[in-house]
Structure 1
Amino acid sequence: MSDDDERTLGRIETEVALLMRFGEATRRATGTAEHRVLDRAAYVILRHLDAAGPQNVSALAAQLNLDGSTVTRQVSALQRDGLITRTPDPSDGRGTVISPTAAGLQRMAAVRSARTRLYGELLADWSDEDQAALATLLGRLNQALVNRNRRR
């Protein structure tokens, strides 16, 4: 690896670390309550269930690259809050399938809308091409992370 490659990868590592830090700080500091009606884990679970449909805990854990016990705890909290329901798994009578409730989808949509507005404000002076390039590159980075985690 050349020095230039190493410097570039170091910059990427630093920028990703800062992105994660600033993203969380921005979420906590944003004045609107919409950003805070769901914690990050609940939001990700509800987004996934909305996109992929009802799933059992094992499939959900695999898709989100989380330990099953972690997902079980998060799902229990979501159920207590009325944001998901559990029904018997038709393919395995011993298990359950998790689905978002209307209230869960409503909260998830409120957070997504608030975040979309925030990014619209942050990127208002970026060209459409730069915004599209950022979306593409972030998508590629996320897919590379998913692929790496699946190989483990």
Structure 2
Amino acid sequence: MKETENLERFIDAVQYVGRMLKRNVRDQASPQGITKTQWFILRHLWKKPCTIGELAGKLEVRSSSMSQMIDRMELAGLVQRTTDPQDGRTKIVMLNDAGKNHLEMITNAGVELLFDPFSKFSKEEQQLVVELLERFKVNLSATFEDKK
């Protein structure tokens, strides 16, 4: 067995799972009139409200581009902007009820997609898969931070 065989198998598996998850998001979000990028923004805002600049950093786009995306999402009734209590010049973007409902529908579809394949693992295997992927995520993140 060559040295990189396991890594190549890992890459193939991660790419396949990623494609299936993206397809599921697209299939669920599209009928709701939500793009994949908007879904990502909604998902991030679910964790915590944040500024346009913070969102732009997460998506690696200019703040002006993110501002336009938020304008469209605000017009669609998915998000709202409020003034930052600590800095009156800054706006905080947060989910509103419609945005939460759309995100919940899409997220539930993702859970449904993964439930059966994930349930075929024992409870111990499920825990191990999650822990290993979380560690890999941290390691990969550190690799990108080292390159800055």
Unpaired stretches in structure 2, ≥5 consecutive residues: none
**1:55-89 alpha-carbon deviations (Å, 9 max, x no partner):** 11112233x25223443333222212111001223
TM-score, with length taken from structure 1: 0.75
| Aligned equivalent of 1:132 | 127
Partner of 1:71 in structure 2?
66
What aligned pairs does 1:1-150 form with structure 2 within 5 A after superposition?
A: 3-4=2-3, 6-28=4-26, 33=28, 36-37=31-32, 38-52=34-48, 54-62=49-57, 64-69=58-63, 70-150=65-145
Task: Tell me the secondary structure at the aligned position of residue 67 of structure 1.
Answer: coil
- The alignment partner of 2:104 has SS state of helix
Give the Cα–Cα distance (whole angstroms) in 2 for the partners of residues 93 and 18 of structure 1. 45
Q: 1:144/1:77 Cα in 2 relative to 1: closer, same or farther (>3 Å)?
A: farther
CA distance in 2, matches of 1:74, 1:42: 8
Equivalent pairs, count: 145
Equivalent-residue separation in structure 2 for 1:131 and 1:35 (angstroms):
30
Structure 1 residue 27: deviation in Å?
Answer: 4.2
CA RMSD of aligned residues (A): 2.7
Write the distance in 1 (CA, Å) between the matches of 2:137 and 2:30: 22
Structure 2 counterpart of 1:7, which letter?
Answer: E
Equivalents in 2 of 1:85, 1:61: separation in Å? 16
Letter in 1 for 2:44: H
**Range 15-24 or range 96-105, more displaced:** 15-24
Contact 1:27–1:36 at 8 Å: present in 2 too? no
Measured after TM superposition, the shift of residue 26 of structure 1 is 4.1
